[in-house]
Structure 1
């Protein structure tokens, strides 16, 4: 019901050639959800960057800055695609908080491995939702689908960078089956403590 209301509120007066305004509206709703996710991810990555501690501090601190920069560019690309389709890109914090379907990142000052464990779950959520958006966009518009696929490749690579810190030599993830960020953080630290000791 809310998705339908958002689609009607976002129905553009015009859109790109070859699409109907209904199709444009559907894409705008999907892209607004991606914009919210990317803006949230950008802030979450900076939060981790500022609050990571421990022996892996500098490696994680420096690893995150290029991710932050790229995610910001992704958000800009999505916002510009919304505008191209005739919509309004909503990028205010209030709109983000009102529209998102997930909770705030739940780890404060913590060891690098703890943050990476939690971040792995964040990336899983963002990537899963992005794959769904790609499927929806692919039914309507190859240009929007292409934009999202390019972002998917980068986000999956960033999750790989994170998971490399959490993976054992046998290929298992320390965060496997963790249902929350806090549990993933605890599992990652516990697993790293066992392998280190």
Structure 2
């Protein structure tokens, strides 16, 4: 059955392309945050361990929301590590940095995801896709707030 939601197929595909990038950023940030949760040490262990857990749980749910929006637009969502690696702008961390570097990397990751969401909002707005723009605005706000909270730890 053809999709008839008031957004042309080419526009849905363009929006999904941007959403796929956000999905890759979200999933990459999820993995990094979860790894840091497992591997945090030092005097801030308890507070950062708990904070990272809250953040990776939020990112896990966000990835599902973004992927389901892609599917709502009748486009298949990327779902492999290799696809995400090609799409994400977030640098992988294969080591275990100290707590300050962990926080720095997560600030950077959330800022990257905020930029990705902001660009996707422009595409969704141009196509008249208020549903996607609304979801993206929520994601943008979440990434900006998390970056602020993490950045505050470094002062």
Counterpart in the other structure of 1:67 = 55
Three-state SS of the structure 1 residue aligned to 2:91 is coil
Counterpart in the other structure of 2:18 = 30
Which structure 1 residue ranges, 4+ long, deviate > 6 Å from structure 2?
none
Q: Once structures 1 and 2 are overlaid, which stretch shifts more, 108-117 or 30-39?
A: 108-117
The whole-number CA distance in structure 2 between the counterparts of 1:19 and 1:26 is 11
Which runs of structure 2 are paired with 1:23-102 in the superposition (5 Å)?
Answer: 23-102=11-90
Number of aligned positions between the proteins:
154
Q: Once structures 1 and 2 are overlaid, which stretch shifts more, 76-85 or 124-133?
A: 124-133
Query: When the two structures are superposed, what TM-score results if normalisation uses the length of structure 2?
Result: 0.90
Counterpart in the other structure of 2:122 = 135
Query: When the two structures are superposed, what TM-score results if normalisation uses the length of structure 1?
Result: 0.72
Three-state SS of the structure 2 residue aligned to 1:89 is coil
Compared CA separation, residues 134 and 55, structure 1 to 2 (3 A) = same
Q: Which structure has the bigger radius of gyration?
A: 1
Q: Summarize deviations over 1:32-60 as a string: whole Å, max 9, x none.
A: 11111111110010111122111011111
CA shift, 1:138, in A, is 1.5
The correspondence for 1:152, drawn from 134, 137, 140, is: 140
Structure 2 residues without counterparts, runs of 5 or longer = none
The whole-number CA distance in structure 2 between the counterparts of 1:25 and 1:139 is 13
Indicate the structure whose relative CO is greater, using CA pairs within 8 Å and at least 6 residues apart. 2
Counterpart in the other structure of 1:116 = 103
Matched, 1:21 2:9: yes
Structure 1 residues without counterparts, runs of 5 or longer = 1-12, 168-197
CA shift, 1:101, in A, is 4.2
Compared CA separation, residues 68 and 102, structure 1 to 2 (3 A) = closer
CA shift, 1:151, in A, is 1.1
CA shift, 1:66, in A, is 1.3
Decide which structure has greater helix share: 2
* RMSD, aligned α-carbons: 1.7
